[in-house]
Homo-oligomer: A and B are copies of this chain.
């Protein structure tokens, strides 16, 4: 029996096969995500992996259903495995917004699902760090959120040479659209063309833009000039104060396809342009109102950073640590008469926070030692009877090969200290 197509199994390292996921790398990423969010004062939340389909069609229209892992459940409810977290967040905020002082700074690490056409490397699930700020209209919120994004990537060892945040603004494009006398009914269509500009053939772009009364040359010039709006400038200044300006640039080539963005938008890319966007986000001031049926109206902004592209990038830059699962101590039990005392010692060490392994059953001395090495134990310990019959411990460092004889108390002290 196989796992379903597009899903990953996560094994402990070393991985048994290149096609499986690494549970250690996943946990490494989650720990960093949580740690940096905590420093920034973001609080964790989560919702169900399954939601009513309506939550997503309300936000994105019926077209979205084609991409969803949706079904009718046994209670005849139309439901979907969550494809994104923002609708759940909006629902949760709307349900209890009065209990929280604004701005609300929340994060979560959901697994998300899409019914993508299967294909090489095309997954139907991934994990994502989602961080959002609710209830703040000032672009200082964008700066705070982008600083979190940058510091999160930096926490993995990525530098300004590795990635850049391309910062743009729906408002800047709206002003451009209005000042160039675009037809208001075609504004979203215009954004869609801008969104595809870099990937599309110039002639196609030109034809599409002309049809709406725009010129590719002028649009390209506007992007290339990249003159920051007042709002964008305030974000740049804010990030400069933090010393983060080398990680950001204004780039109107980014507009993000999702209809629901209302202001600043941004995406982070690797500088070499080898990978898809590492993360993306922006302001969505209307969504909470929409999801709550008009009951709660709160400004909001957020970003999502997936685990798949991040992992590829960290691998390519050699920034993933070696996950050897190394344990602190392997307890050698060479004399079965000492098994009870060894178990007592093992339990004592574990109570002190030390990770300890041993052979569950009687085994030859060299086999036990080999096992200690396989498990990447830092040290071995072995009980012996001293000259006066008292128990002593032989502690051996497997790197330096140095071995010392200690009393049990000395041993606990010694290994607990580190």
Contacts and interface: CB of A to CB of B under 8 A. Distances in A.
A8 interface: yes
B23 A44 contact: yes
Contacts of A398: none
Interface stretch (A52-60, A169-177, A194-202): A52-60
Contacts of A346: 242
A243 B39 contact: no
A394 B79 CA distance: 54
Interface stretch (A11-19, A218-226, A275-283, A313-321): A11-19
Contacts of A353: 35, 39
Contacts of A27: 44
A27 B37 CA distance: 14
Given A48-B7, A360-B144, A106 B12 contact: yes
Nearest to A6: B48
A5 B55 CA distance: 15
Contacts of A23: 43-46
Given A99-B16, A343-B242, A361-B140, A4 B115 contact: no
Interface size class of A (residues with CB under 8 A): 35 or more
Interface string A111-144: 1010100000000010000000000101011001
**This chain: copies in complex:** 2
A323 to B, nearest CB: 10
A347 interface: yes
A347 B242 contact: yes
A184 interface: no
Contact of A50 (B1, B4, B106): B4
Nearest to A339: B241
Nearest to A343: B241
A4 B96 contact: no
A408 to B, nearest CB: 14
A347 B244 CA distance: 9
Contacts of A14: 99
B344 A243 contact: yes
Contacts of A327: 41
A346 B77 CA distance: 48
A89 to B, nearest CB: 10
Nearest to A72: B71
Interface of A: 1-5, 7-12, 14-17, 20-21, 23-24, 26-27, 35, 38-41, 43-52, 54-55, 58, 69, 71-75, 77, 79, 81, 88, 91-92, 95-96, 98-101, 103, 106, 111, 113, 115, 125, 136, 138, 140-141, 144, 147, 151, 237-238, 241-244, 291, 293, 325, 327, 339-341, 343-344, 346-347, 350-351, 353-357, 360-361, 371, 374-375
8 contacts: A1-B52, A1-B58, A10-B47, A41-B357, A71-B72, A151-B350, A151-B351, A241-B339
Given A11-B96, A27-B44, A141-B360, 5 more contacts: A1-B52, A15-B99, A43-B325, A49-B125, A101-B371
